[in-house]
C-alpha cells in the first residue's frame, strides 16, 4: 500500500490514508492500514441533517475543495466504512492533507 496523505480531525488526530488497488484505506496513528477501514469520500449536509452532496475520494484528490463555510463552520464531513458500518466523522474541523 502506498501512503497518499493524512486525514485530520478536530482533535489533532492524524490518520494515514493509503491507496491499494483503486481503494483508499485509513490507519490510526502508529498502526498499519487495515482493509476493514475504508475512506469512501465526503458528505455535505443541509441545515436539517440531510445529505445534499456526496463527493468521492477521487474528487478530493484532484480538486481543491472548500472544507468550511465563510463563518468557519465545517462544510464537508469525512465518510468511511469501518468493519461494514458507514460512518461520518463529526469533528469540528476536518481536512485531507496530501503526502
Q: Is 99 exposed, middle or buried (0-12, 13-18, 19+ CB in 10 A)?
A: exposed
Q: What is the pTM of this model?
A: 0.88
Domain ranges of the chain: 2-98
CA angle 66, 69, 59 (to 5 degrees): 20
Distance from the first to the final alpha carbon of the chain: 14
Instruction: Return per-residue pLDDT of the chain as tens, 99 residues.
Output: 999 999 998 766 789 999 999 999 999 888 999 899 999 999 999 989 899 999 999 999 999 999 999 998 899 999 999 999 999 888 778 899 998
Amino acid at each position: 500500500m502506498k501512503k497518499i496523505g493524512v486525514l485530520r480531525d478536530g482533535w489533532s488526530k492524524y490518520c494515514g490514508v493509503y491507496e491499494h488497488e483503486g481503494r483508499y484505506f485509513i490507519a490510526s496513528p502508529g498502526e498499519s492500514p487495515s482493509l476493514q477501514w475504508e475512506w469512501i469520500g465526503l458528505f455535505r449536509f443541509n441545515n436539517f441533517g440531510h445529505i445534499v452532496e456526496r463527493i468521492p475520494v477521487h474528487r478530493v484528490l484532484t480538486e481543491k475543495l472548500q472544507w468550511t463555510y465563510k463563518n468557519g463552520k465545517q462544510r464537508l464531513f469525512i465518510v468511511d466504512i469501518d468493519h461494514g458500518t458507514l460512518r461520518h466523522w463529526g469533528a469540528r474541523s476536518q481536512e485531507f492533507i496530501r503526502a
